[in-house]
Amino acid sequence: MRYPPLDSSQTGEILSDDLFYAFVDLIYRQTGIRFDKESRFVLQRRLVHRMRALGLPSLERYYYHLLYHPDREREMDQLIDLVTTHETYFFREKRQLRCFVEEIVPLLVQERRAEPARVLRIWSAGCSTGEEPYSIAMLLRGLPVLTGWQLFIFASDISSRALQVARQGIYGSGSFRDMEPEYEAYVRQYFEPTPDGRLRIRDEIRQMVLFGRVNLLDSSSLALYGWLDVIFCRNVLIYFDTEAKKRAIQNFYERLRPGGFLLLGHSESLLGLDSRFQLVHFRNDMVYRK
């Protein structure tokens, strides 16, 4: 295909100021993640990796490829996989999980016991490779208080590669690090070994989670989830700038039912971002409620 004329001063792996900010804006529009000047060389290395993989002569050509090439959406997926963080593991932040299972879920069941439809809808937003939503599914499966209730667990990420791993449900030892003894029984019950020494989650848990690729800043795509009772978005907003955080939180607010809960990472807060949520103090943790 034909590209705009190439500036001869921008050949090879050179990343000029203008081109750096062009990539930054492009990635931001797609993910909500904004690279700062201190991350310039980290971004450059990742861009060069994709440039070389495509056999392109310069980063400028690669930028045009992302804009105009017929296969640009697939390539954008590849780039997103490189620039997003997939740090996660099973049963992370145990106090919050205890709060969810022992306090939030029973409270929701009690408050809605008079409603004709006994349905609980949970969304793991920014689920990475699936450890979080599968943890939720294991904790809720067979929970006595949910007897007679229909459970929906949605999970989303911006990275197609992370979602592929999540759907396969096969994990190495790193996904089980910092495992508390109280959760080891779930691993024995709901995982089976693979020939290469990893663990595969059993179908009874894998089938409880519906995975999808979603941009947290795109309100139209979130409408597919309908009303939600609980949203987990832990250790995701820390990678967003203030504007993107506010947009994501607005989308969460719109999707939550009145009285629904928003669970953030312990290093995250709505302070200065949104005043409509109530900070609720439970025995095990503090969480936000609409």
How many DSSP H helices and E strands does the chain contain? 12, 10
- C-alpha closest to that of 150 among 109, 94, 95, 91: 109
SS3 151: strand
Residue 13 is given by DSSP the state T
Q: Where are the beta strands (DSSP E) in 59-206?
A: 119-125, 150-157, 170-171, 191-193, 199-201
Q: Which of 50, 61, 157, 255 is catalytic?
A: 157
Per the annotation, the verdict on 157 as an active-site residue is yes
* Burial letters 229-250, b for 16+ CB under 10 A, else e: bbbbbbbbbebbeeebbbbbbe
- C-alpha closest to that of 39 among 102, 101, 83, 6: 83
Q: Which of 34, 40, 46, 141 is catalytic?
A: 46
Structure tokens that stand for 25 in this block = 């804006």
Structure tokens that stand for 253 in this block = 């607010």
Per the annotation, the verdict on 46 as an active-site residue is yes
Distance between CA atoms of 218 and 173, rounded to whole angstroms? 34
Residues annotated as catalytic are 46, 157
